[in-house]
Amino acid sequence: MGQAISRRTFIRGGIAAAAGLAASSIPGVAAAAAPQAEIQLATLLDISKCVGCEACVEACNEVNADKYPQPKKPFPKMYPARVPVEDWSAKQDVTDRLTPYNWLFIQHAIVELNGEETELTIPRRCMHCVNPPCVKLCPWGAARQLKNGISRIDPDLCLGGSKCKNVCPWNIPQRQTGVGLYLDILPSFAGNGVMYKCDRCYSRVAQGELPACIEACPEEVQTIGPRDEIIRKAHALAKETNGYIYGEKENGGTNTIYVSPVPFEALNKAIEKGKGKPHLNSVKDTMAQANNLTAAMVFAPVAGIAAAVGKFVKLAKKNK
Ligand code: SF4
Ligand code: SF4
Ligand code: SF4
- The pLDDT, as a whole number, for residue 2 is 33
5-31 average pLDDT score: 48
C-alpha 124 to ligand 1 mean position (Å): 11
- The pLDDT, as a whole number, for residue 34 is 44
201-222 average pLDDT score: 96
Closest ligand 1 atom to 57 CA: 6
Cα–Cα dist 233/44, whole Å: 8
Cβ(213) – ligand 3 distance below 6 Å: yes
Closest ligand 3 atom to 59 CA: 7
pLDDT at 88 exceeding the cut of 80: yes
C-alpha 16 to ligand 2 mean position (Å): 32
Ligand 2 binding site (Cβ under 6 Å of any ligand atom) = 126-129, 132-134, 151, 168, 170, 172-173, 197
Residue 212: φ, ψ to 5°: -60, -35
- The pLDDT, as a whole number, for residue 5 is 34
| All residues at 6 or more sequence positions from 222 whose CB lies less than 8 Å from its CB, including other chains | 28, 43, 44, 45, 46, 56, 123, 211, 213, 214
Closest ligand 1 atom to 220 CA: 2
Cβ(201) – ligand 3 distance below 6 Å: yes
**Model pTM greater than 0.75?**
yes
- The pLDDT, as a whole number, for residue 305 is 56
Query: pLDDT per residue over 257-298, tens digit each?
Result: 999 999 999 999 999 999 999 999 999 998 887 455 555 555
Query: pLDDT per residue over 160-175, tens digit each?
Result: 889 999 999 999 999 9
- The pLDDT, as a whole number, for residue 85 is 86
Beta bridge partners of 102: 99
pLDDT at 148 exceeding the cut of 80: yes
Cβ(200) – ligand 3 distance below 6 Å: yes
C-alpha 197 to ligand 2 mean position (Å): 9
Q: Whose CA is nearest to atom 6 of ligand 2?
A: 129
Percent of the chain with pLDDT over 90: 67
**Contact indicator for 129, 151 with CB cutoff of 8 Å:** yes
Q: Which ligand has the minimum distance to the alpha carbon of residue 216? A: 1
Q: Whose CA is nearest to atom 7 of ligand 2?
A: 168
- The pLDDT, as a whole number, for residue 185 is 80
Cβ(125) – ligand 3 distance below 6 Å: yes
Q: Which ligand has the minimum distance to the alpha carbon of residue 167? A: 2
Lowest mean pLDDT across 37-51, 267-281, 283-297, 303-317: 303-317
Lowest mean pLDDT across 42-46, 211-215, 302-306: 302-306
For residue 62, which of 277, 215, 275 has the smallest C-alpha distance?
215
Q: Would strands 41-46 and 222-226 be described as parallel, antiparallel, or unpaired?
A: antiparallel
**Contact indicator for 218, 207 with CB cutoff of 8 Å:** no
Ligand 1 binding site (Cβ under 6 Å of any ligand atom) = 50-56, 106, 121, 123, 216-217, 219, 221
Cβ(221) – ligand 3 distance below 6 Å: no
Query: DSSP for 164-227?
Result: HHHHSTT---EEESS-STHHHH-TTTS--SEEE---TTHHHHHTTPPPHHHHH-TT--EEEEEH
| All residues at 6 or more sequence positions from 197 whose CB lies less than 8 Å from its CB, including other chains | 98, 103, 125, 126, 153, 172, 173, 174
Q: Whose CA is nearest to atom 8 of ligand 3?
A: 60
